[in-house]
Structure 1
């Protein structure tokens, strides 16, 4: 699925042949700004028109159809990111002013607003959310605001918020979170720990373990730093930010802003382009 065209269309292609399976114009009054599949039969889109739409998807070998939709109203500013969990029937959307709304996917209705507050409990607005993810295992919600990663329960209670962009290099002061992912594997040792991945500039992916300390407070422990290495430049990292992360049982797939896809296998890095 692709969007961002001049005609504001959304286009579906076959993964095998790249044949066009469906082209839909004017899904929003303006550009589509975010999209996410809940499952193979449900698609969520959001736009610069401040509307979130849940679409019914009908798939076949030759075509993609969108036979029905439900519009969700609540945002006053363009929506920039959406995240969904089928297991918890939950949808989250965030707009350019940092307002985060939670929706029930079964009833197609508003549930609550995820408030952003400072240490004194005062509400904060205008802090933009770059990306959001919901864990299909625990229901935890992860929100990236600049350098800060905030984790909430499915009921909207804040678990923790911390800067995850710290480093020894001076240039890392300009870093921010570019992508998020939860590891949701089943049937292997990683399930015993809840892992959160954050993608950053200059090809860096951090793997965090979400746990509690002796006092019962939630905390993030850095487990491993993965690097988007350019083998043609003597092992230096690519300059582009990591924009997509897909953790699996034995390998982590990452993609950057320049369209590269890299597989990271426990310390070894190999570009999928090199495999071909």
Structure 2
């Protein structure tokens, strides 16, 4: 299979730190160390708009497949991270400061009107924090007692029943609600995790 470049998308003046495709809304979102966040049209492969106001490098991005809302994470001047929530049209809904550095971010994907979706952040201290998409208030924290390594990536299963996290040590974990555990902890390890060996 041969692969070739169809088009170059220009807009950032520094390193691109993260990309996110939101297929239901046909957008690609790119963020950069220069503080820019750009929305691109996937059908026409062109610039749509920029989400402005980040005063520091934007390090993570995600979009809701149900609403199109966008979450961006940037470094905070006083330490930690700032989490911002935007509409797909580029309006800032709100923002919240997190004392810890947010390394990764994702949206839950339950049908709107049935449940309240959350923005999930993987923190540098190994904690996963959930914020309500309605008011950005913390909903809960998920911790893994054996590790405090940064959560560098996270995503939800297609049905939204499982949250998968990966830390900087090579450990991948699957999380679900207690009532869905079915007597076993849904967890697995990948790569050369020290936990798998013990």
The one of 152, 157, 161 aligned to 1:250: 161
Q: Which runs of 5+ in 2 are unaligned?
A: 76-80, 190-194
- Do residues 259 (structure 1) and 170 (structure 2) align? yes
Aligned to 2:62: 133
The one of 72, 83, 96 aligned to 1:162: 96
Any idea what SS the aligned residue of 1:220 has?
coil
The one of 190, 203, 209 aligned to 2:132: 209
TM-score by length of 2: 0.81
User: Deviation digits for residues 75-117 of structure 1, max 9, x if unmatched?
Assistant: 222212111111111111112111111111111111111111x
Distance 2:37 2:164 in 1: 28
Contact 2:33 2:59 in 1 (8 A): no
Aligned to 2:49: 112
Q: Which has the higher strand share?
A: 1
User: Deviation digits for residues 241-271 of structure 1, max 9, x if unmatched?
Assistant: 0011122433321110111011223368654
Any idea what SS the aligned residue of 1:72 has?
coil
Aligned to 1:182: 107
Q: How does 1:1-276 map to 2 (within 5 A)?
A: 65-116=2-53, 125=55, 127-146=56-75, 147-165=81-99, 175-186=100-111, 191-211=114-134, 219-230=135-146, 238-248=147-157, 249-266=160-177, 271-273=187-189
Q: Which runs of 5+ in 1 are unaligned?
A: 1-63, 117-123, 166-174, 212-218, 231-237
Cα RMSD between the aligned structures?
2.4
Aligned length: 180
Aligned to 1:17: none
TM-score by length of 1: 0.59
Distance 2:154 2:114 in 1: 18
Distance 1:206 1:229 in 2: 15
